[in-house]
Amino acid sequence: MRYLHTMVRVTDVDASLNFYCNLLGLEEVRRIENEKGRFTLIFLAAPGDKDAALANQAPTVELTYNWDPEEYSGGRNFGHLAYEVDDIYSLCAKLQDGGVTINRPPRDGHMAFVRSPDGISVELLQKGESLPAAEPWKSMENTGSW
């Protein structure tokens, strides 16, 4: 058995790719346009997983865009995606500068939560040891839910 992908439904491809790729740092490795089924599948990999994703089609996040409008709710019921990051403070700053709310700031230098444009909760975990507590993060309050 091996892990293949996690699928999340998205309502706006451009907003989702901006969040997952431009802000979070994932890379598109494959795309399927299915005219008969009226959907697009976009597979994304973390930079450290890109070679494996290209060779084995895993591990990836699959963004599913259904061409016919649908309303999705319950993104929190999904749980969350989790990524290990090299510098949690710089990534959170980049996300915040890109208009993303830091729902659970990395006060401990180790863990943060944000949400995608479709409400999918994303956990960020500092690679290795926690970074020393630093402002503005250590005094920032939680916002919303994650």
The residue ranges of every structural domain in the chain are 5-66, 79-139
What class, spelled out in words, does domain 5-66 have in CATH? alpha beta
For residue 12, give the amino acid letter. Answer: D
Q: How far apart are CA 115 and CA 133, in angstroms?
A: 23
CATH fold match for the domains 5-66 and 79-139: yes
pLDDT tens-digit map of 106-137: 999 999 999 999 888 899 999 999 999 999 99
Cβ(102)–Cβ(24) below 8 Å: no
pLDDT tens-digit map of 51-99: 999 999 999 999 999 999 877 776 655 778 989 999 999 999 999 999 9
Does 70 qualify as catalytic in the annotation?
no
Give the confidence band of 4 by pLDDT, cuts at 50, 70, 90.
confident
* Phi, psi dihedrals of residue 117, rounded to the nearest 5°: -60, -20
The count of residues in the chain is: 146
Sort strands 39-45 and 60-66 into parallel, antiparallel or unpaired.
antiparallel
Q: State residue 93's pLDDT score.
A: 97
Q: How far apart are CA 15 and CA 107, in angstroms?
A: 27
Cβ(64)–Cβ(39) below 8 Å: yes
Average pLDDT over every residue of 6-26: 95
Q: Which of 123, 129, 135, 141 is catalytic?
A: 123
Question: What CATH homologous superfamily does 79-139 map to?
Answer: 2,3-Dihydroxybiphenyl 1,2-Dioxygenase, domain 1 (3.10.180.10)
Cβ(59)–Cβ(26) below 8 Å: no
Q: How far apart are CA 145 and CA 132, in angstroms?
A: 25
Q: Choose among 36, 34, 111, 93: nearest CA to 65.
A: 34
